[in-house]
Structure 1
Amino acid sequence: MPVSPEMPATPCVSGSWNQRLLARQAARRDAGLWRERRVHRRDATLDFAGNDYLGLARDPRLAEAAAIGARHHGAGARASQLVSGHLEIHRHLEARLAALVGRPRALLFTSGYLANLGVLQALCDGTTAIFQDRLNHASLLDGARLAGAPSRRFHHGDLDDLACLLERTDPATPRLVVSDGVFSMDGDIADVAGLVGLCRRHDAWLMVDDAHGLGVLGAHGDGCVGRAHASDEVPVLMGTLGKALGSAGAFVAGSELLIEHLLQFARPCIYTTAEPPGVSAATLAALDILEQEPERRARLHAHIARFRTGAEALGLRLLPSTTPIQPLLLGDNARTLHWAEALRARGLLVGAIRPPTVPRGQARLRITLSAAHETSQIDRLLDALAELATKENRS
């Protein structure tokens, strides 16, 4: 029964629950880890925090394609993929994505997080051994938990450590090695060829989450895996559509057998309404631009080189990344927040990344670059960082 405007709603949470929530929130505030959601107004700040690596999110061609797609197919898909929500535009997009990364088939998901949950839940159970890089995205760790499969964490990028873990595992145990392609907080790239070789020697499958590599890396913007490594080398490949491709959603690409298995067993696919068709139309437009305008990737990589050269000249402590993700390691939570707020006051938006997203003591500014940036804007960011560093050194 709805509550009338005149009657106060009865609290639905007990006092003990209120105290529990307040205590946990207070602990997070005291640790300097409190997060806030802000309304970001277009053009109010220069965005060096997002993942729009090719500058396509605001491209009018994507907006127009989305509008046409919505007018033609409707604002929503109306049902899940296995009911009546799988439309011709979805089929067409899946085929284009499979071709981009050199796989027989692809399957759409509504987010990268759900794609990773779905894959790991569908492929693994309590009898499976999963081996994960320590810096893998949270969705990969959560997917293993959802599957009830034990995860063994190998040291970041350490193939020798992974080899030791694989050697100590019963050869009869199904084994899945899972790694980010480009690590979202450090910006470095996995040694995919090395992972492929290890997995072959130990009869393990390999899954790569290439969310931050797709559209940016590879000869065709096909990512750090793509056409360079076939399905027999990297059987499970995940990519997202809301970063370099500027729209939304995700996909998993692989063999006919894999995709049919996911359609039968991946719960986030089976029990979720299919992607809005306008979003699929925008992604198709983004794929056209990716193919027809390679100069966007060239401009992005020129920006990366310019920023790194300038930051190194200032003595700033950058992590060794050749991707659009440029982490400036500051270490202390309060210092990181101070720098981020000082940059915001200068009209520059960067990410202030603190634990638990990164290990304790490794708080950093996560600076991300885009093909949409101008060189003068890169220089403006460098000037502001130089000013902050100078003030800090004087104090």
Structure 2
Amino acid sequence: MRCHPARTRIGAVAAGKIGDMETMGTDPLARLRDAAAQRERAGLRRALRPRTPDHDGLIDLASNDYLGLSRDERLVAAAVRATREWGTGSTGSRLVSGSTGLHADLERRLAAFTGAAAGLCFSSGYLANLAAVATLGAGGLVVSDEGNHASIIDACRLARARVVVTPHRDVAAVEKALAGRDEEHALVVTDAVFSVAGDLAPVGELHAAAARHRALLVVDEAHSLGVTGEGGRGAVHAAGLAAAPDVVRTVTFSKALGSQGGAVLGAAEVIDALVDTGRPFIFDTAPAPAPMAAALAALDIVGHHPDLPGQARDTAIALARAVAARGLATADPAAAVVPVVLGPPEAALRAAAVFAEHGVRAGCFRPPSVPAGRSCLRLTARANLSSDDLAVIGRALTAVAEMKVNV
């Protein structure tokens, strides 16, 4: 019989097998201080730095506001109206009192916009991933790309499934994992656009491999919705798989849509399973009405201005060219994410400081957000960056390039 780990330890202590409790130390926080000191030495300490409404006067290349909608007056007005009508909070979980007409409207509109059969809103994209992967993959095989977002990694752990992590964008490895399975069901999960590297998953090839082995494909469109595909409809739509019943999408409203929350998009059977059994859906408080209204307003804007996603992509290409022209390592952007790979954490921290000195806020990514030796600045393009903004960014990049030469 397997014993609960806590019971095993308590029993051992009571029997004197671990030793006197006094010898185990009297300060339960000592290990946390030691770990913090180790992170400090490795350049991996993090700190909260509250910003002002105007990003401290810096050009914003750090946020995920890809279409520049988070401060758009139309979204603000929609959120204010919803707050006045519905109040500031959702008051409960979706299955108790938290569902409103705004949630239902957004689910229908998202499904129609992306070509999915149905949708289900969550309070974050993180929870949407937890629900989709942990619910649909439970007890089976989950095949996950090594570059997937932390929310997908955590979802794999929650699924209590056998998890195979495959090399980045390696379709052959995915096929091999699926072909050798004993489990009755399987799920392949990938980011559409990878959140730091900025590259695109081979969605069509992954779907073909999954279909050959009767597996579902789950695609996280957090960084592709509103940026890639026709009119910003995402990578799955661009791959011609919008209506495929064996493809499930997760999305977030906190990036291109300038709001907050997330959703799962898929077949009616998928949505039914999440409503009935998805713990991150059943037990979480529903997203507030205001961000639902803001996301609806954002969909209206994207629908009436289908050129916006292309503007964001064009800006990303301009940023990538500026990075490469200065001899810094980057990649061709699939959407709005442009990495500037610098190597050690200290180099990324210094580069972020140099950017700030030149009037630009850039994301600084270090392990565990990226692999060791791949610390970087992450520049995120916006549709509303001006030519003057790009000139300032160019000067900041020049300073970072000179910094690397002088190190």
TM-score band w.r.t. shorter chain? over 0.9
* Cα distance in 1 for residues equivalent to 2:93 and 2:313: 39
Match of 2:209 in 1: 198
AA matched with 2:134: Q
Match of 1:258 in 2: 270
Tell me how far 1:31 sits from its aligned partner. Answer: 1.0
Match of 1:39 in 2: 50
Tell me how far 1:234 sits from its aligned partner. Answer: 4.5
Match of 2:227 in 1: 216
Paired residues for 1:78-227 under 5 Å: 78-125=91-138, 127-170=139-182, 172-226=183-237
Tell me how far 1:295 sits from its aligned partner. Answer: 2.6
The 10-residue stretch of structure 1 (155-164 or 174-183) with the greater mean CA deviation from structure 2: 155-164
Is 1:387 the equivalent of 2:399?
yes
Tell me how far 1:107 sits from its aligned partner. Answer: 0.2
Contact 1:98 1:253 in 2 (8 A): yes
Match of 1:302 in 2: 314
Contact 2:231 2:307 in 1 (8 A): no
* Cα distance in 2 for residues equivalent to 1:391 and 1:35: 22
Per-residue CA distance 1:69-118 (angstroms, 9 max, x = gap)? 11111111212111122111111111001111111210000001111111
Is 1:319 the equivalent of 2:362?
no
1:379–1:165: structure 2 CA closer, same or farther, 3 Å change rule?
same
* Cα distance in 2 for residues equivalent to 1:379 and 1:114: 38
Per-residue CA distance 1:229-263 (angstroms, 9 max, x = gap)? 13436521101000000000000011111101100
Per-residue CA distance 1:42-93 (angstroms, 9 max, x = gap)? 3321110110000000111101100001111111121211112211111111
Match of 2:386 in 1: 374
**What secondary structure sits across from 2:372 in the alignment?**
coil
The 10-residue stretch of structure 1 (48-57 or 287-296) with the greater mean CA deviation from structure 2: 287-296
* Cα distance in 2 for residues equivalent to 1:53 and 1:382: 19
Q: Alignment RMSD, CA only?
A: 1.5
Contact 1:196 1:233 in 2 (8 A): no
Contact 1:208 1:234 in 2 (8 A): no
TM-score, length-scaled by structure 2: 0.90
* Cα distance in 2 for residues equivalent to 1:394 and 1:324: 30
AA matched with 1:190: A
Match of 2:65 in 1: 52
AA matched with 1:23: D
1:258–1:387: structure 2 CA closer, same or farther, 3 Å change rule?
same
Tell me how far 1:313 sits from its aligned partner. Answer: 2.0
Tell me how far 1:192 sits from its aligned partner. Answer: 0.5
Contact 1:350 1:366 in 2 (8 A): yes
1:261–1:394: structure 2 CA closer, same or farther, 3 Å change rule?
closer
Tell me how far 1:164 sits from its aligned partner. Answer: 1.8
AA matched with 2:89: G
Where do 4+ consecutive residues of structure 1 move more than 4 Å?
none
AA matched with 1:163: E
Match of 1:30 in 2: 41
The 10-residue stretch of structure 1 (331-340 or 39-48) with the greater mean CA deviation from structure 2: 39-48
Per-residue CA distance 1:299-355 (angstroms, 9 max, x = gap)? 222212222222222222112323210001111111111111111122211111111
Contact 2:342 2:376 in 1 (8 A): yes
Residue among 275, 281, 286 paired with 2:298: 286
AA matched with 1:205: L
When the two structures are aligned, how many residues end up with a matched partner? 380
The 10-residue stretch of structure 1 (346-355 or 304-313) with the greater mean CA deviation from structure 2: 304-313
Tell me how far 1:177 sits from its aligned partner. Answer: 0.4
1:21–1:101: structure 2 CA closer, same or farther, 3 Å change rule?
same
AA matched with 2:116: R
AA matched with 1:280: M
Residue among 243, 261, 264 paired with 1:249: 261
Is 1:73 the equivalent of 2:109?
no
The 10-residue stretch of structure 1 (54-63 or 113-122) with the greater mean CA deviation from structure 2: 113-122
**What secondary structure sits across from 2:29 in the alignment?**
helix
**What secondary structure sits across from 1:38 in the alignment?**
coil
Name the % identity: 37
AA matched with 2:42: A
AA matched with 1:179: T
Structure 1 residue runs without a partner (length 5+): 1-13
Contact 2:193 2:334 in 1 (8 A): no
Tell me how far 1:146 sits from its aligned partner. Answer: 1.2
Match of 1:4 in 2: none
Per-residue CA distance 1:184-215 (angstroms, 9 max, x = gap)? 01000101100011011111111000100000
TM-score, length-scaled by structure 1: 0.93
Residue among 225, 237, 247 paired with 2:249: 237
Per-residue CA distance 1:261-307 (angstroms, 9 max, x = gap)? 10011111111221111111111110000001123223222212222
